[in-house]
């Protein structure tokens, strides 16, 4: 059985780094836990191989009778292409993953078998049927008890070519954001792995050489007692028993800022990277999206409090709410620049299939007529419905301008300095004899080569790197945090350059150049139709 994680069509999900040794290898920002987890369900006598297309090309002639494809929304179109290619070669194709589970009818004719839902309770039946040659057209999984979930088969994965390992700690989220598809297939009742399970998976990733581990959790801190227990266990593991410290990352809600003790526990455990869906400072936008946890708080003040506990924020920003007009892009830029945040994940509001937003847009006749885009919304600043106060062209141009403006090196320098003024040191910087684990050699060489390459080609990037080095000299206790923020930025910028998204001319414009581009003229080639040119 050959399991494949297809290439994403999102412009920030992958980047080709110079390997530093002339090999031309590619690196995944985050290891593909999906295929490593599915592999763990296979019986011991099954031969299983993995392919993360971010790292290596897919071998269409691979020696395997059964091909498994996983697909979230950004991978879905590529998964369909691969399914067709493998079936044309006589292979049996199974498809599963988030987008298949949300809308199995979209994949019904594309595969020999669909796995809808979670695998824990149906995996034994699936593999028994593969062995017997009696594979069914569809298997329906239930919402599983994660304490029965096996540890991923990282021994099958090219770990030296991934920058971050992954441990899934829970599934589900109790919030009800109307644009979120996660709660549609994982539910609003969060289910958790035991602390001992999580530590065992962390240790396995440590043994494979990782110094950076992402905790895949749609809202790590929403259940305070559970989060506190796991953080205490992580703090007891990290840097103990002869181990060097590793850095952890996860996803949290902004309301973590209200809990000083939990913030302190995050620092103690080394959980120092947090993705937070801030989305917008428009109360109207937050109300319409049901993002209630962000209402009636000073978002900038909450971010400053989180950073003051040593936690660096990657902030989700969004434009395209019905309450947004053409002034929204400049407003969001000013808001973003007020935050001590270096990394932004900018998106336009889309209506993912099976979400309340998708249904309301369909009922209102606002979904685009292009059924492909309506069902497989792009991750590249292209919405799949008609905005209320602007055209789709204007939303695309405004979002592209905002993304480019925020990525301008001069503006990153401002936010990096703001972060450095507040950032508390990590535990390994204040404990005698403690040390953070260095990255794996291949990744370290790639990061160094990237920095050299980008500094040679751009004077603004050179100035940014010099400024970051000066900050490290002034604050050696947060040297790692500054270096991590800089590396993350350089990788994001390089990825945008490689995918034709970053434009220094646009980054230098004081306001969006509405009318400069249209979806037909420019963005159409970024729609999720054909990724062959990107591979």
Q: What is the pLDDT of residues 271-314, one digit of tens each?
A: 999 999 999 999 998 888 778 788 888 999 999 999 999 999 99
pLDDT for the residue numbered 160: 92
CA count, 13 A, side-chain hemisphere, 30: 18
pLDDT at 13: 53
Report the half-sphere exposure of 212 (CA within 13 A, side-chain side).
22
Rounded-to-integer distance, Cα 269 and Cα 234, Å: 5
Residue 18 pLDDT: 59
Sites in the chain below the pLDDT cut of 50: 522-535
Confidence (pLDDT) at 286: 85
Q: How far apart are CA 120 and CA 247, in angstroms?
A: 29
* pLDDT tens digits along 335-366: 999 999 999 999 999 998 888 898 899 999 99
Euclidean distance between CA atoms 116 and 305, whole angstroms = 41
User: Using CA atoms, how far apart are residues 139 and 137, in angstroms rounded to an integer?
Assistant: 7
pLDDT at 19: 55
Res 531: pLDDT: 32
Is residue 29 within 8 A of residue 5, CB to CB? The reply is no
Query: Among all chains, which residue has been given the structure tokens 């979400």?
Result: 355
Can you tell me which residue has the tokens 């050699």? 441
Tokens of 223: 């259940």
Place of tokens 């620092």: 267
- Angle (CA) 142-144-148 rounded to 5° is 140
d(CA 95, CA 264): 42
At 257 the pLDDT is: 95
Which CA distances in Å does 359 have to 33, 321, 352?
A: 30, 16, 9
Task: For 446-487, give the DSSP string.
Answer: HHHHHHHHHHHH-HHHHHHHHHHHHHHHH-GGGHHHHHHHHH
For residue 380, the model assigns a pLDDT of 79
Separation of alpha carbons 309 and 409, rounded Å: 26
Q: How far are the Cα atoms of 7, 98, 527 from residue 57, in angstroms, in the given order?
A: 9, 23, 21
Nearest C-alpha neighbor of 252 from the set 197, 347, 173:
173
Q: How far apart are CA 383 and CA 165, in angstroms?
A: 31
Strand order in the sheet with 2-5: 49-52, 2-5, 66-70, 92-96, 113-116, 138-140
Find the farthest-apart pair of alpha carbons in the chain and give their distance in angstroms, rounded. 66
Report pLDDT for 534.
29
Residue 422's H or E segment, with its range, is helix 409-422
Q: Please enumerate in sequence order all residues whose Cβ is within 8 A of that of 385, keeping only pairs 6 or more positions apart, or say none.
A: 350, 351, 361, 366, 367, 368
Nearest-angstrom CA–CA distance, 474 and 417: 11
94, two tokens: 């199974």
Range list of H helices, 7-75: 33-40
Distance CA 474, CA 270 (A): 22
pLDDT, position 171: 83
């Amino acid at each position: 059985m050959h399991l494949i994680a297809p290439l994403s069509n999102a412009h920030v999900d992958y980047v080709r780094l110079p390997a530093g040794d002339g090999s031309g290898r590619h690196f995944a920002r985050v290891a593909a836990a999906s295929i490593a987890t599915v592999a763990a369900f296979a019986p011991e006598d099954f031969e299983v191989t993995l392919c993360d297309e971010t790292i290596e090309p897919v071998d269409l002639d691979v020696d395997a009778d059964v091909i498994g494809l996983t697909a979230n929304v950004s991978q879905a179109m590529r998964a369909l292409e691969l399914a067709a290619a493998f079936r044309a070669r006589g292979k049996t194709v199974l498809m599963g993953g988030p987008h298949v589970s949300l809308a199995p009818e979209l994949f019904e004719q594309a595969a020999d078998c669909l796995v809808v839902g979670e695998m824990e309770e149906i995996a034994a039946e699936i593999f028994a049927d593969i062995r017997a040659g009696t594979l069914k057209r569809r298997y329906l999984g239930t919402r599983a008890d994660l304490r029965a979930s096996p540890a991923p088969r990282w021994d099958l994965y090219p770990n030296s070519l991934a920058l971050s390992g992954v441990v899934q700690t829970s599934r589900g989220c109790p919030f009800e954001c109307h644009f979120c598809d996660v709660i549609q297939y994982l539910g609003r009742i969060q289910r958790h792995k035991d602390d001992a399970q999580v530590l065992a998976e962390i240790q396995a990733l440590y043994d494979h050489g990782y110094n950076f581990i992402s905790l895949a959790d749609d809202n790590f801190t929403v259940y305070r007692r559970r989060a506190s227990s796991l953080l205490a266990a992580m703090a007891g593991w990290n840097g103990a028993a002869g181990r060097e410290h590793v850095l952890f990352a996860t996803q949290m809600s902004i309301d973590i800022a209200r809990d000083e003790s939990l913030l302190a526990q995050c620092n103690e455990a080394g959980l120092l990277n947090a993705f937070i869906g801030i989305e917008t400072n428009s109360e109207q936008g937050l109300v319409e999206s049901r993002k209630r946890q962000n209402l009636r708080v000073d978002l900038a003040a909450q971010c400053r409090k989180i950073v003051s506990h040593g936690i660096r924020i990657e902030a989700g920003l969004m434009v395209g709410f019905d309450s947004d007009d053409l002034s929204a892009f400049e407003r969001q830029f000013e808001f973003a620049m007020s935050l001590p945040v270096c990394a932004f994940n900018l998106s336009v509001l889309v209506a993912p299939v099976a979400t309340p937003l998708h249904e309301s847009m369909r009922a209102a006749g606002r979904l685009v007529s292009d059924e492909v885009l309506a069902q497989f919304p792009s991750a590249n600043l292209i919405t799949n419905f008609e905005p209320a106060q602007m055209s789709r062209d204007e939303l695309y141009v405004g979002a592209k301008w905002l993304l480019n403006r925020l990525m301008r090196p001069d503006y990153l320098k401002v936010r990096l300095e703001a972060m450095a003024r507040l950032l508390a040191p990590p535990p390994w910087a204040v404990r005698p004899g403690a040390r953070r684990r260095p990255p794996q050699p291949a990744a370290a060489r790639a990061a160094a080569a990237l920095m050299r390459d980008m500094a040679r080609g751009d004077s603004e990037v050179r100035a940014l790197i010099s400024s970051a080095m000066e900050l490290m000299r002034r604050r050696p206790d947060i040297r790692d945090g500054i270096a991590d923020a800089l590396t993350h930025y350089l990788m994001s910028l390089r990825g945008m350059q490689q995918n034709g998204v970053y434009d220094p001319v646009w980054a230098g414009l004081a306001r969006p150049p509405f009318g400069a581009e249209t979806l037909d003229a420019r963005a159409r080639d970024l729609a999720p139709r054909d990724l062959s040119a990107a591979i």
